[in-house]
Amino acid sequence: MNKEEVIKVANKHNGYLYSKIMKDYNIPSIYITRLLKEGKLQKIEKGIYVTDIGIEDPFFVMYIKHKNIIFSGETALFLNGLSNKQFVNYEVTIP
Task: From first to last of the 95 residues of the chain, give the pLDDT tens digit.
Answer: 789 999 999 999 999 999 999 999 999 999 999 999 999 999 999 999 999 999 889 999 999 999 899 999 999 999 999 998 877 888 999 98
Rounded CA gap, 82 and 38, in Å? 41
- Rounded to two decimals, the pTM is 0.82
State which H helix or E strand residue 35 sits in: helix 29-38
